[in-house]
Chain A
Amino acid sequence: DIQMTQSPSSLSASVGDRVTITCRASQSISSYLNWYQQKPGKAPKLLIYTASSLQSGVPSRFSGSESGTDFTLTISSLQPEDFATYYCQQSYSTPLTFGGGTEVEIK
Chain B
Amino acid sequence: QVQLVESGGGVVQPGGSLRLSCGASGFTFSPYGMHWVRQAPGKGLEWVAFIRYDGSNEYSADSVKGRFTISRDNSKNTVYLQMNSLRVEDTAVYYCAKDPLSYGSGSWYFDYWGQGTLVTVSS
Contact = CB atoms under 8 A, between A and B. Distances in A.
Interface of A: 32, 34, 36, 38, 42-46, 49, 55, 87, 89, 91-92, 94-101
Given A94-B59, A98-B44, A98-B45, A89 B114 contact: no
For chain B, give the interface size range.
Answer: 20 to 34
**B62, B107, B108 — which one has the most chain A CB atoms within 10 A of its CB?**
B108
Nearest to A1: B62
Contacts of A96: 35, 47, 50, 108-109
B107 A87 contact: no
B89 interface: no
B47 A98 contact: yes
Contacts of B62: 95
Nearest to A35: B109
Contacts of A36: 45, 110
B46 A98 contact: yes
A91 B113 contact: no
B60 to A, nearest CB: 8
A19 to B, nearest CB: 19
A46 B98 CA distance: 11
B108 A44 contact: no
Given A32-B108, A94-B59, A44 B47 contact: no
Contact of B108 (A43, A87, A91, A99): A91
B115 interface: yes
A87 B111 contact: no
Interface in B47-91: 47, 50, 59, 61-62
A58 B26 CA distance: 20
A87 B114 contact: no
Contact of A43 (B107, B109, B115): B115
Interface string B97-123: 000100000011111111110000000
